[in-house]
């Protein structure tokens, strides 16, 4: 789980507040990994999907009232493990 090992776990250990949003198999894989759920049992786990757009992410950032909020998303590049969108209280940061 590269995203967990390299990004999420270190952030949690350094006492950052995280909101993890994803869809379908990405969140299911994280739950399977963290809870140690076997292949046969994961089939019965249902995690409802939500669809987040830039406006939603900006609203969440304002609601959290943090200087910056990073959202980890599915990668757009097949060589990547994830994609990051960073929002400040007033706008999305360009990178």
Tell me the three state secondary structure of residue 47.
coil
What local confidence, expressed as pLDDT, does residue 77 receive?
85
Spell out the per-residue pLDDT of the chain, length 95, in tens: 788 888 888 887 887 767 676 666 777 888 888 888 899 998 888 766 666 788 888 888 888 888 888 887 777 888 887 788 889 888 765 55
Angstrom distance (rounded) from CA 20 to CA 11: 12
Q: Which two tokens stand for residue 65?
A: 């009232």
Q: Exposure string (b/e) for 25-46, b if CB count within 10 Å is 16 or more?
A: ebbbebebeeeeeeeeeeeeee
Number of domains comprising the chain: 1
Does some domain include residue 55? yes
Does some domain include residue 67? yes
Does some domain include residue 68? yes
Angstrom distance (rounded) from CA 8 to CA 5: 7
For residue 21, the enclosing domain spans: 2-88
Alpha-carbon distances of 19 from 8, 41, 79, 94, rounded to whole Å: 10, 26, 24, 20
Tell me the three state secondary structure of residue 92.
strand
Does some domain include residue 93? no
């Amino acid at each position: 789980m590269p995203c967990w090992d390299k990004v999420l776990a270190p952030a949690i250990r350094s006492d950052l507040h995280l909101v993890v949003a994803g869809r379908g198999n990405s969140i299911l894989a994280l739950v399977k990994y963290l809870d140690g759920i076997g292949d046969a049992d994961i089939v019965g786990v249902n995690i409802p999907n939500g669809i987040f757009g830039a406006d939603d992410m900006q609203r969440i950032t304002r609601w959290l009232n943090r200087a910056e909020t990073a959202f980890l998303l599915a990668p757009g590049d097949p060589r990547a493990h994830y994609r990051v969108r960073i929002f400040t209280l007033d706008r999305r940061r360009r990178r």
